[in-house]
Amino acid sequence: MLMSSPRCIHGSWLVALTALAMAATFGMPAACGGSDENSNTSLGSTTTASGTPSGSGGSAGAGGSSVVSSSGAGGDCGALVLCGGMCVDTQTDPTNCGVCGADCAGGTCAAGACSCGNGPPCNPGASCVNGVCSCDPGLVTCASGCTDVSKDPLNCGGCVEQGGAKCLTGQTCVSGNCTDCPMGTVACPVQGVCADLASDANNCGGCGVACGPSGMCVSGQCVCGAGAVYCGGTVGCVDVSADPNNCGGCNQQCFPQATCTSGNCVCPVGQVTCPSGCSDVATDPQNCGGCNQACGGGQTCVSGNCVCGAGKIACGTDCVDTTLDPNHCGSCFNACAQGAVCNGGTCSCVSGQSCGNQCVSLQNSPVNCGNCFNSCGDTQYCSAGACACKPGLTPCNGGCVDLLNDVDNCGGCNNGCGNSCVDGVCQAISCGSINQQNCGDACLTDAEFQTNPLHCGNCDNVCANDEVCASGNCRSYFPPPGCNACPCPQCGVGTTCCTFPGGNFPICVEGNNCP
């Protein structure tokens, strides 16, 4: 039965709300049409006894939120938000916090955000009780939040961090137990799934057998679409007619810069395929004029020919300046004598001093000390043009002795030991007891055998006067005339410029090691 529109009652907020509620229930107009000159109520609004407008944007209701009925044909709530037929303040309404339907679960809403007590909002499944988040009845607190462990597949039978089970994808949790995998699938625990081994591309024919990119699993076998070849789980399906990493077949990789055309690696136009890759043999110094034809040091490749820079010529595979190179002085392979330099294509001695056909330093040459052919003894060296005991040796009874290891001159000249001499001290011990080797009652370490000119490499292996002990081997040397510090061009090929052990002058030592 239809009811007539309710008559507006003046000056009553409660009556106005009642009328609005009836209108919403029975589909009647929300308010009296027009206005009554004897009434303070007009369409869509009411006025309190104090004259303050109410309705949309009215005073806050219980709980600190503003909730009133919507009014007007379009449900205009003004500054409020229409939620479920009611105008609410989403900044403070704990059941519509921030947005409609966002329930703070017993917490409070401030500035559109839920909170519980002084902390953050409760996780799903929890309620805020007396400012503390508590899981709802029937739920358990797990690291992931409140959950029903009787049916949660991620925490089945208990929280997974406390020993509960994490069901495989495809399983369900029933009464706290993971069900069996569905029919036709197999449990793959490592992969965490129930897999159909006949069709699962990630578990094809067995757990963890992946078909790779673009691969398909058919009847438990990895297969590819038309025109593609299966190259294993990591690579997947590829077009071997165009893939530069699998050109003509799986794992057949083309060189950098090459492309794969019809299953063949093809270098760019103007380049050829060499074992080292695609090469322009007109300019490549490693493949100059053809594959594996490398230019020498200092040469460049010009129009397929190895050429040297300005002022140099090719001697073998090297570019040299024959006006300065002592190994190619004036012409290729014309080597200057020991100690000589090449100046203007002519070999000469820097200091002007020569003995026989060699350039020598009369200040430091052990075989031309002070004068040509004045040779020092094996335990001596030439210092400032005079023979002296080698550094580390001491003059004693007309000879040079090692006071650290000489059992007859241990620590001092003529201080003989009845036992062993260890670092200049007579000791009644065996050399073996201190992990050293006995050399005529002198105890030496392995390191001493590497540099000691009296025991070079072995006991009593004395190096000659023109030799030094380098890495346990006696190596010949000569002082380069006219050079005061390494490197010295007078050393030439086959020697290494070193500093004389214990001295302050350079020497050219045979080989690659310094003493």
What's the Cα-to-Cα distance from 426 to each of 62, 143, 287, rounded to whole Å?
105, 76, 67
Which residue positions in the chain have pLDDT lower than 70?
1-75, 351-352, 441
Reduced DSSP (H G I as helix, E B as strand, rest coil) percent helix, strand, coil of the chain, to 5: 5, 25, 65
For the chain, the straight-line distance linking the first and the last C-alpha, in angstroms and rounded, comes to 122
Tell me, what's the pLDDT at 68? 54
Element (H, E) at 314: strand 313-315
Both tokens of 441, joined, read 């009652």
Tell me, what's the pLDDT at 120? 85
Tell me, what's the pLDDT at 352? 58
Tell me, what's the pLDDT at 165? 94
Q: How many CB atoms lie within 10 A of CB 398?
A: 5
Contact 273, 292 (CB under 8 A): no
| CA–centroid distance for 458 within its chain | 48
Contacts for 100-109 with beta carbons within 8 Å, 24 or more apart? 104/128, 109/65
CA gap 391, 233 in Å, rounded = 70
What's the Cα-to-Cα distance from 180 to each of 61, 116, 136, 185, 420, rounded to whole Å?
54, 41, 29, 10, 84
Tell me, what's the pLDDT at 355? 84
Nearest in space to 40 (alpha carbons), one of 25, 29, 31, 51: 51
Both tokens of 196, joined, read 């159909």
What's the Cα-to-Cα distance from 91 to each of 34, 80, 84, 128, rounded to whole Å?
34, 9, 16, 18
DSSP 79-120: TSEEETTEEE-TTT-TTSSSSTT---TT-EEETTEEEBTTBP
Kindly report whether the global pTM for this prediction surpasses the value 0.75. Answer: no
